Structure 1
Amino acid sequence: MNPLDPLPRLRLPPWRCNSVIAFHKSTKFAELGPRFFSSNSVGLGVGASSLPVLAPPAVGRWLLVSSALVFAVIVVGGVTRLTESGLSITEWRPVTGVLPPRTAEDWNAEFDKYKSTPEFKLMNHSISLDEFKNIFYMEWGHRILGRLIGITFIAPLAYFALRKKLSPSMPAKLSGMAILIGFQGVLGWYMVKSGLEDSIMDTPGAVPRVSQYRLAAHLGTALVLYGGMLATGLAVIQDWRYARSGAWGGSKTVSWESVLSNPVIRSFTRKSRTLTALVFLTALSGAFVAGLDAGLLYNEFPLMGGRIVPPMDELFSAAYAKAADRSDIWWRNIFENPTAVQFDHRLLAMTTYMSTCLLYLHSRRNAVRSLLPPAARRSITAAFLMANVQVILGLATLLYLVPVPVAAAHQAGSVALLSTMISTLVALRRPSMAAQLWRKAKASMPQTSH
């Protein structure tokens, strides 16, 4: 009798079954172990091996929590800008700045520093100490949340790296994210400095606010960091599910090889990537709108001053050109003229909305719907719904002269829409090589019962 046969056929008493199972592992599984199973393969019931490490779900959950914190800091940063609180703290102290002023003397000292800024002299010269505390705490909370993100990312990263819980490609990728977090702190202070420069006082008609270029760079970096964390976290969880159960794209019956090799799905994936880039670009253009207070112009829709397109002398005013030959009139108007900035944001927003609707309708076609995995169908549907919500929030922000709660919700909506598109792309992603090897190893294991 072959000891490797399924146990029910052996018809042995329980105490003998245990010995047969042990022998079974020591022969057949011992041959598979060194080649197929890694040290974190506890769930597979085998020993350590040279298989590539497959990151466990805990790594994915940690990255999703980190991305949620970045989502929160983006929203808080938007509120900080909308409430004009960002220039209330005039120094960057990464360590000692963790604690806010505690005594009356500390508060007065901080207030005196603010009184020397162009913002106080030109706009807030009549605010009280209590009013200063309100804007101070808003900016302080934004900075503290940024520090919290650094701690909650770096410490677990070191733990998972030391415990060898990261897939081969992850250490470099996650280290890049850690560097990006630190860079965000430096970039944030670089942005704030632009609104504290004394030269603002010497510029006729100048408004004390941060550079729209630096604001866009700060937001864009945060969106890249958020997208990287979210996509990597979702991919880790998806890979684990595939390795364990063969589930891909939200279904155990879908073959990723046949789906991703289909020309229809390849075309759909390319369109999804293009739309994701468009969503990102539209969100980035919103930073220029916020940086120039362009949302306070032309508070009507779809017209601007009674016209679909404002007069050309407003869109491309020679007043914004700084070169002697006016060769910079085009790009300076695009990025520095509030009228052009608002028009561009409208154009991008409507293009994004129509593209999302078209991609959703395309996904509903039988030829596409029958091939898309369930997770991708759910994600593109969520993108369509979020795009409609985002349009409503954008219109409300414009028509009601940028109320803080609605404008903050509009910025959060842009990140939510980006999230749905990232989720769509992850759902159409092939399993990692480590996950494929794990899946093959598990599929090759004989199924025993006892």
Structure 2
Amino acid sequence: MLSTGRFLRAPISLSRVLPAGRMAYLSGVPRAHASCLSGKGAGIFLPRRGLRTASHPMLALADRGSSFMATGRVTSVTQPGILKRVNIAIFRRPASTAASEHEKSGHARRTVDAPIVGYWTLFCASMVFGIIVWGGLTRLTESGLSIVEWAPISGAKLPTSDAAWEAEFEKYKQFPEYHKVHIGITLDDFKKIYFMEWFHRNIGRLFGVVYLVPAAYFVSKGMVSRAGIAKMGGLGLLLLGQGAMGWYMVSSGLEKELGEHPDAVPRVSQYRLTSHLSLAYLLYAGLSLYGWNVFRANRLANMRVANPEVLRALLQEPAVVSYRRKITAATLLVGTTCMSGAMVAGLDAGLIYNEFPTMGLGIAPPLSELWNQHFARGDPSAMWRNLTENPATVQLGHRILAMTTFFTLSALWWQGRRLPLPRAARVALHAMYGLAWVQVALGISTLVNFVPIAYASAHQANSVLLLASALGLYHTLRPLPRILL
């Protein structure tokens, strides 16, 4: 009697003595149905190397009291009742059936993106990381309002002549920041802050080219699956939205009304700054997850994942599933804390209460300061504005979120150490925990030292790395996909 599993993608290598009816589990080969062989002259039909299939079940061979090795052909036959020959014809589908399925699926259809797509998306993610860090430096040096026009094409060129520089400087003098922040700066000082903003915008322009041109090429060459095309389109729209939000943010700091109020400080809206940074973090997260998913799918398709069925079963264990949900919530908490940090930056709230863990004479400022009618703008129903416009309240909220995030990640690290997690997940778990400590240390150091540029920039850069480690842990705990080739 002969019973086989589905087609195998790679040659089989069996070296275990299997009693009749037992299942064999091979390293790198998924589960299969058992095959029972008996009688003189019984044979098993093995597939050719490289034969593609929708799944990769393992073929179990059994013959009481017998053992063998199979590598695409029988290498030794020394006992009666063992396989005598190999015939793969049974594994060949009828030509008509294969042609029919080929016509239905289409020759160019892909189910796994090409590996180069993964390298490209991760490179794009690294560019977004650089843009976030440089954007933070631009804000810390108060350079973001030095270019007062939005010229996507002509603005890519840096002024070269003295006349061009003088023209840009005269434009800048027409706006409130020159009169209230950079009072009486020289042309040389203006060139420095202008370059910071110009370089930030040009990194964004370069990123647009690096993303859109290869994306169009990969799609035109059929190197991307249908799902991948949808993801690329979504990330492309996010990229365009990020650029538009960037100018919308800058324009909020160029309003002439800011110069008419004596107590008004020309700065961009903290709401728009937070939105701008949120889109950047989302773009970074989307590109990173997309790249990791491409690599994972290719490793599965190429049979480079050791014991995939064992790993799949492990990732579906109730304890691991529950832990993955907690990691998902913790990742969202990390992102929320990062966004509250953007609110702190937008209000310059780090320049007050520069001590830790206290704020003034206690753990928190007086309630009359945290919930002040001044920020309600005369509307008793708008006291909620204290949460987003009162620097003291915003800083306290960021402190609470930061410490909540730290203790949450610490608890998850302690719990994860006791779970049978895959090696990649353990690496990501320890990295996340270590980066959480670094983030807290940088945050406190930035605060107590009155926000020095180096500390503040490192604090923002590490927040991206912390988010990346949490995303990486979440990714390694996701269920393994079923790859259809």
TM range (shorter): 0.7 to 0.9
2:459 alignment partner, one of 394, 410, 419: 410
1:230 aligns with 2:302: no
Return the alpha-carbon distance in structure 2 between the equivalents of residues 429 and 115 of structure 1: 54
2:113 to 55, 61, 67: 55
Q: Which residue does 1:354 correspond to in 2? A: 407
CA contact (8 A) 1:33 1:49 kept: no
Q: Is residue 304 from structure 1 mapped to residue 353 from structure 2 by the alignment?
A: no
Q: For 1:308 and 1:105, how far apart are their aligned partners in 2?
A: 55
Between the aligned partners of 1:34 and 1:209, the Cα distance in structure 2 is 65
Does structure 1 residue 141 correspond to structure 2 residue 199?
A: yes
1-structure distance, mates of 2:90, 2:263: 82
- Match in the other structure for 2:429: 380
Answering whether residue 383 of structure 2 is matched by residue 329 of structure 1, we say: yes
Which of 47, 57, 82 is matched with 2:140 structurally?
Answer: 82
Distance apart, 1:257 and its partner CA: 3.2
Instruction: Name which of 339, 345, 348 aligns with 2:392.
Output: 339
Measured against aligned partners, the alpha-carbon deviations of 1:217-267 in whole angstroms (never above 9, x if no partner) come to: 0000111111000011011101111121251xxx54662431232110111
Task: Report deviation, 1:36.
Answer: 9.2
Instruction: Give the structure 1 partner of residue 11 of structure 2.
Output: none
Structure 2 distance, partners of 1:210, 1:120, is 14
Q: Once the two structures are aligned, what percentage of the paired residues are identical?
A: 42
For structure 1, the residue ranges without an aligned partner over 5 or more in a row are 12-20, 39-47, 439-450
2:324 is the counterpart of 1:260: no
When residues 234 and 102 of structure 1 are mapped into structure 2, their CA distance, relative to the original with a 3 A threshold, is same
Q: How much has 1:317 moved relative to structure 2?
A: 0.7
Question: 1:166: how far off?
Answer: 1.2
Partner of 1:70: 128
Residues 120 and 380 of structure 1, relative CA distance in 2, 3 Å threshold:
same
How far residue 167 of structure 1 moved from its aligned partner, in angstroms, is 2.2
Give the whole-Å Cα distance in 2 for the aligned partners of 1:82 and 1:202.
24
Q: Matched residues in 2 for 1:171 and 1:207: separation?
A: 45
RMSD: 2.6
| Correspondence for 1:45 | none
- Counting only pairs closer than 5 Å after superposition, residues 22-41 of structure 1 correspond to structure 2 as 28=92
Question: Which structure is higher in RCO with an 8 Å CA cutoff and minimum separation 6?
Answer: 1
The code of the aligned residue for 1:208 comes to P
Residue identity opposite 1:382 in structure 2: A
Contact 1:75/1:411 (8 A) holds in 2: yes
Distance 1:26 1:88, change over 3 A: farther
Cα distance in structure 1, aligned partners of 2:424 and 2:462: 21
1:195 aligns with 2:240: no
Closer/same/farther in 2, CA of residues 7 and 120 from structure 1, 3 Å limit: closer
SS state at 1:328 partner: helix
> Matches of 1:147 and 1:253 in 2, distance apart?
41
Contact 1:360 1:380 in 2 (8 A): yes
Letter in 1 for 2:455: V
Is the contact made by 2:446 and 2:452 (CA closer than 8 Å) also made in structure 1? yes
Partners in 2 of 1:398 and 1:195 — Cα distance? 25
Name 1:441's counterpart in structure 2. Answer: none
Alignment partner of 2:217: what SS?
A: helix
Question: Deviation of residue 33 (structure 1)?
Answer: 7.0
- 386, 391, 414: which one aligns with 2:440: 391
Task: Indicate how the Cα distance of structure 1 residues 87 and 178 shifts in structure 2: closer, same or farther if over 3 A, else same.
Answer: same
Taking the TM superposition and a 5 Å limit, the aligned residue runs for 1:247-326 are 247=305, 251-252=306-307, 255-324=310-379, 326=380
Counterpart of 1:255 in 2: which secondary structure?
helix
Matched AA of 1:418: L
- The TM-score normalised by the length of structure 1 is 0.85
Q: Which residue among 303, 306, 309 is the counterpart of 1:245?
A: 303
8 Å Cα contact 1:66-1:152 kept in structure 2: yes
Tell me, in whole angstroms, the C-alpha distance in 1 between the residues paired with 2:125 and 2:245.
19
Query: Deviation of residue 312 (structure 1)?
Result: 0.3
Q: TM-score, normalised by structure 2?
A: 0.79
One-letter amino acid of the counterpart of residue 317, structure 1: N
Unaligned residue ranges in structure 2 (runs of 5+): 1-40, 47-70, 77-85
Contact 1:35 1:50 in 2 (8 A): no
Letter in 2 for 1:417: L
Whether the aligned pair in 2 keeps the contact of 1:295 and 1:342 (CA below 8 Å) is yes
Query: What is the letter of the counterpart of residue 457 of structure 2?
Result: A
How many residue pairs align between the two structures? 408
Secondary structure of residue in 1 paired with 2:144: coil
Distance 2:363 2:400 in 1: 11
- Alignment of 1:158 onto 2:216: yes
Structure 2 residue identity aligned to 1:271? K
The 2-side partners of 1:28 and 1:137 are apart by 66
Q: Does 1:204 align with 2:204?
A: no
CA distance in 1, matches of 2:266, 2:126: 31
Question: What residue is the counterpart of 1:179 in the other structure?
Answer: 237
CA 1:307 to 1:37, structure 2 compared with 1: closer, same or farther past 3 Å? Answer: farther
- The one-letter code of the counterpart of 2:301 is A
| Counterpart-to-counterpart distance in 2, 1:76 and 1:346 | 24
Give the letter aligned to residue 320 of structure 2.
I
Q: Does the 8 Å CA contact 2:386/2:393 hold for their aligned counterparts? A: yes
